[in-house]
A and B are shown apart, each in its own frame.
Chain A
Amino acid sequence: MNPLTKFIFELQEISTLLWRIVRSLRNRPRYYRELLDQMDQIGVGSLAIIILTGFFTGGVLILQAYPTLQYYGAQSQAGRGVATTLVRELGPVLTALMVAGRVGSAISAELGSMVVSQQIDAMRALGTSPVRKLAAPRVFALILTLPLLTVAADIFGLFGGGIVANQIYGLDTGVYMTSVRMGVDIDDVLGGVMKPLVFGLIIGLISCYRGLNTSGGTVGVGKSTTSAVVLASISVIIADFFLSKILQTLFDTTLF
């Protein structure tokens, strides 16, 4: 199969998986307990690294931007720049990339191991749908928790930026807070929450697809995991570009 055919085939398979997951909402059994477990593992479990990511990203943005802004006498606008960048772009994308690495790899490794040890076949033989029981709760958990994690990253990013602005560059906290509020309006917040919804779907679908289609024993599990993380990460970055364009058109926003 040439790469293009392979790509189209995989796109078809992922779409079929998406359709089956959506259809699983219609009737029983619905696995609420599994959904809550996954939300705990994905959401609460990723919180620590997301907070760290956000905090240091906000800090480094101020670190780099402040001297340039100071040169033009615009240092009081530092908070505004950080807020806009974080809420619109860096918060959603970096959160999604961290989650793709942590959660995407865990999902594809777990499902892949179950495939090679025939646990998926056993599940089907016992009358349970692996899509309903395993894939759907993970995908929905990602869609629900990624926006929340993104907001956490944004908040701690702004906090980190404020610490750096105040402690290193001596910017007054009140000035920083005022400029932050100027940099974010409701359209930015909406867009910054809509992006994670799409990213969660992408990460969940790709990880589950790769995991459930593992072949070739333990080597296959490693390959599935790697390709799930790489594919999910690249897809997030590409999707971010198109989503940004759509949101710009939708909300008719410019940077300043």
Chain B
Amino acid sequence: MIFENPENELPYDNGNEVSFAGKTDDSNRIVPAIEFNDVSLAFDDQVVLDAISFRVRRGETKIILGGSGTGKSTIINLVLGLIKPDSGQILVDGDDITGYDEIEMMRVRKKIGMVFQEGALFDSLSVYDNVAYRLHEESVDEDEVEHEVRRMLHFVNLEDAIDKMPAELSGGMRRRVGIARALVGNPSIVLFDEPTAGLDPPTARTICELAIKLRDLEDVSSIFVTHEMNNLEYLSSEYAIVDENGQVLFELEGEKLCLINTEVIMLREGKIAFSGKDEQLRATKDPYIYHFIRGT
């Protein structure tokens, strides 16, 4: 169930745990997918994160907003264990990964898919080899690899590009191949690091639709880092359903319904300036947030 009637009290209450209606029978869903407890990090003298705490629940998309250099990408690097915090605790699916070494992190990374800002494709490998990367490393049988690669490229609508090299692709296509590569292995957590930066609006919309499909049709938990309000708009007011012909449709939540599986965090000067729903974000009186979201 991804909806809640907004006439009832909004379910999110700062800092308190929320239970999903209709999903409490699965005890695994109570453990958050990602949890940050008082995480701090500074590069030399520059404080990037200052005692940040938040949770991403199962099946939730957490949109992280903030200006450039506010630590959004740092949060993603911390979840992946590419960098370590100075203090605090990070949990992924209930496991405390704060002190994990590189070998232990490999195990955790198997359930996380990461979409990098510029795609970060391996430029000496073809699209096929890029998407198949994880499977080739695990020495999976080639027939199975091909099947999985085609399935993923179909998901991102790029089957025709299967034999091309990254240099032959446009920025948007590279980003989509990056998404396909991240989704191989069916990760339960996907991290998007400014996936629409530098893309034209229609292409950016396509990327958001992929994120919505993952959230609503594949029950993926995700962090979506962005500073573009359009993305916030799409992700927090549209949902994906499959009609009787197997086609995916995108519907607006409208007035009567409210998506409860998408929330927003805003970062400012190393702290969380806002945490809650997009309706609350738009209604806030804080002058910084007010001007940020309107671009004034």
Contacts and interface: CB of A to CB of B under 8 A. Distances in A.
Contacts of A126: 109, 133-134, 137, 181
A122 B114 contact: yes
A186 interface: no
B122 A119 contact: yes
Given A125-B82, A126-B181, A129-B102, A118 B109 contact: no
Contacts, number: 47
Nearest to B178: A122
Interface in A99-136: 117-119, 121-129
A223 to B, nearest CB: 19
Nearest to B138: A127
Interface size class of B (residues with CB under 8 A): 20 to 34
Given A29-B137, A125-B112, A127-B134, A118 B102 contact: no
B82 A121 contact: yes
Interface string B140-178: 000000000000000000000000000000000000000
B110 interface: yes
B219 interface: no
A118 B109 CA distance: 16
A121 B116 contact: yes
A201 to B, nearest CB: 23
Given A29-B137, A119-B123, A121-B82, A127 B116 contact: no
B120 interface: yes
A119 B120 contact: yes
Given A118-B120, A121-B82, A127 B114 contact: no
A128 to B, nearest CB: 5
Contact of A117 (B109, B114, B118, B181): B118
A200 to B, nearest CB: 24
* A-B residue pairs, 9 tightest by C-beta: A118-B120, A122-B120, A125-B114, A127-B106, A118-B116, A126-B134, A127-B109, A128-B137, A125-B80
18 contacts: A118-B118, A119-B120, A119-B122, A121-B80, A121-B120, A122-B114, A122-B120, A124-B80, A124-B82, A125-B82, A125-B109, A125-B112, A126-B109, A126-B133, A126-B137, A127-B106, A127-B109, A127-B137
Interface of A: 29, 117-119, 121-129
Interface of B: 77, 80, 82, 102, 106, 109-110, 112, 114, 116-118, 120-123, 133-134, 137, 181
